[in-house]
Amino acid sequence: MLKPQGRHGEVAVELFTSFPERFAERRQVWALDPAGSRRELCVEDFWSHKGRMILKFASVDDIGAAESLAGCEIQVPRSQRVALEADDVYVSDLVGCKVFNVETGHAPSHEIGTVADVTFGAGEAPLLQVRAGSRTLEIPFAAEYIVRQDLEGKRLELKLPEGMLELDAPLSAEEKKVQQRKD
């Protein structure tokens, strides 16, 4: 949830669902706060406003109560999810997946890291936030890169363009020396 919206406990949310109309039939949701605790909420009303969804929850009746929800993620139980098309996936199914880069030719694939999160808005494809040791790599979750996805087995095999994983890599000692000479 982004922020309070209005004086009566409404909150503005950024949707990561293709099914906002489901709020009309699904009233029970859960708010997961950044500390990891969950709170059950009942959707009283919802509407679209300036490209965002506004939600009004029962028992959240003023700005202070709405502010307590800022930063929470609204969740729906796995058992109540909408069945997706063949190529669509839920973000929660991607988190925790091991990501492998499938090399060209006959070379074996190698593990890149583990999906920690998925972000949206940086382009057409969502970005997988992949933890690789002390680094976090941003890898587009684009159909043209996906070789195989086994969500139950928590495994994604991607064929990434050469050099993609080095785009945000720290400079080597030699690269730092060359850069210092230029300054």
127: domain CATH number is: 2.30.30.240
- Tell me the pLDDT of the chain averaged across its residues: 84
**39 and 67 assigned to the same domain:** yes
Residue-level pLDDT at 141: 93
Record the pTM.
0.67
**75 and 129 assigned to the same domain:** no
Query: In this structure, is residue 155 part of a structural domain?
Result: yes
Contact 86, 106 (CB under 8 A): no
Query: In this structure, is residue 9 part of a structural domain?
Result: yes
Query: In this structure, is residue 182 part of a structural domain?
Result: no
**72 and 97 assigned to the same domain:** no
Question: What's the mean pLDDT in 106-112?
Answer: 74
Determine the Cα–Cα distance for residues 174 and 171; give it in Å rounded to an integer.
8
pLDDT tens per residue across span 115-132 = 999 888 767 888 999 999
Closest of 6, 48, 2 to residue 24, by C-alpha? 48
**119 and 155 assigned to the same domain:** yes
Question: What's the mean pLDDT in 159-181?
Answer: 74
The CATH number covering residue 68 comes to 2.40.30.60
Contact 71, 1 (CB under 8 A): yes
Query: In this structure, is residue 29 part of a structural domain?
Result: yes
Contact 43, 23 (CB under 8 A): yes
Query: In this structure, is residue 137 part of a structural domain?
Result: yes
pLDDT tens per residue across span 27-60 = 888 998 888 899 999 999 988 888 788 999 999 9
Query: In this structure, is residue 14 part of a structural domain?
Result: yes
Strands 38-49 and 52-57: antiparallel
Determine the Cα–Cα distance for residues 173 and 178; give it in Å rounded to an integer.
9
**11 and 41 assigned to the same domain:** yes
Statement: residue 106 has pLDDT above 60: no
Last residue of a domain, one of 80, 107, 134: 80
Structural domain tally of the chain? 2
**9 and 73 assigned to the same domain:** yes
**147 and 103 assigned to the same domain:** yes
Q: For residue 58, what are its two tokens?
A: 């029962």
Q: For residue 139, what are its two tokens?
A: 């890898």
**56 and 111 assigned to the same domain:** no
pLDDT tens per residue across span 145-157 = 999 999 999 999 9
User: Domain range holding 97?
Assistant: 91-162
Query: In this structure, is residue 63 part of a structural domain?
Result: yes
Query: In this structure, is residue 179 part of a structural domain?
Result: no
**76 and 10 assigned to the same domain:** yes
